[in-house]
């Protein structure tokens, strides 16, 4: 079963939640004045655009939220400065990581660089060099801790948000059915 977010009401619920989690994760950071990043879309618009363009699934978004929470937990309480695109970079890193951990055959970072462009805003997106750096720094910041246990998946609020966004469907892939079907096709 695919958990693509295709219904009109599904995506906004998760996008709003993830945008809020991204903002909360960075609430202690101070914006660096004088750093100009032209035509940067709002974090909400950026998340919506990247999620839709990358065909992100509900389980990947759950993992993204967990990684954002881990990021927030590791931030020092004060004294961190950020540039205007930092929320966008942090979200993108969390989503890339979630996608790569969840999928055996993940897209490369060139595709993520392409997905980060928002032409409607005139935002060219992040370069492949930036995406590689964003991913490496995010992983290092998390101490390369990418494992998500079942208790983390059912953390406060996630089940309700995801269930509402995917119309009550189970938020995880049914690997058993998919494997059984592919095995039957191969053995025929």
Would you say residue 103 has pLDDT above 70? yes
Instruction: Please indicate, yes or no, if residue 34 is contained in any of the structural domains.
Output: yes
- Reported as type and span, the H/E element at residue 82 is strand 80-82
Is 94 in contact with 67 (CB distance < 8 Å)?
yes
Instruction: Please indicate, yes or no, if residue 2 is contained in any of the structural domains.
Output: no
CA–CA distance, 188 with 173 (Å, rounded to integer)? 25
Instruction: Please indicate, yes or no, if residue 1 is contained in any of the structural domains.
Output: no
Instruction: Please indicate, yes or no, if residue 4 is contained in any of the structural domains.
Output: no
Give pLDDT, residue 12.
65
Instruction: Please indicate, yes or no, if residue 56 is contained in any of the structural domains.
Output: yes
- Burial code of 94-122, b = ≥16 C-beta within 10 A, e = fewer? bbbbbbbebeeeeeebebbbebbbbeeee
| Lowest-confidence region among 32-41, 72-81, 153-162 | 153-162
Instruction: Please indicate, yes or no, if residue 139 is contained in any of the structural domains.
Output: yes
Residue with tokens 């035509």: 39
Instruction: Please indicate, yes or no, if residue 3 is contained in any of the structural domains.
Output: no
Q: Which residue has the higher pLDDT, 60 or 17?
A: 60
In three-state secondary structure terms, 81 is strand
Among residues 133, 18, 153, which one has the least CA distance to residue 87? Answer: 18
pLDDT-derived band at 143 (thresholds 50, 70, 90) equals very high
Which CATH number characterizes residue 14's domain? 1.10.472.10
The whole domain housing 166 covers 10-187
Number of domains in the chain: 1
Would you say residue 162 has pLDDT above 80? no
Highest mean predicted confidence (pLDDT) among 25-29, 48-52, 95-99 = 95-99
């Amino acid at each position: 079963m695919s958990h693509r977010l295709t219904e009109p009401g599904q995506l906004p619920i998760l996008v709003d939640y993830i945008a809020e989690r991204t903002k909360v994760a960075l609430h202690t950071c101070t914006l660096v004045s004088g750093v100009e990043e032209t035509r940067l879309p709002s974090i909400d618009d950026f998340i919506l655009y990247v999620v839709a363009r990358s065909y992100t699934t509900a389980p990947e978004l759950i993992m993204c939220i967990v990684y954002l929470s881990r990021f927030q937990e590791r931030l020092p309480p004060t004294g961190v400065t950020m540039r205007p695109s930092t929320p966008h970079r942090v979200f993108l890193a969390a989503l890339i990581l979630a996608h790569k951990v969840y999928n055996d055959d993940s897209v490369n970072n060139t595709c993520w660089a392409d997905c980060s462009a928002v032409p409607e805003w005139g935002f060219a997106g992040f370069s492949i060099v930036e995406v590689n750096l964003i991913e490496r720094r995010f992983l290092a910041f998390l101490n390369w801790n990418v494992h998500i246990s079942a208790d983390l998946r059912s953390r406060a609020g996630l089940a309700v948000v995801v269930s509402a966004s995917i119309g009550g469907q189970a938020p995880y892939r049914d690997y058993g059915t998919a494997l059984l079907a592919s095995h039957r096709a191969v053995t025929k």
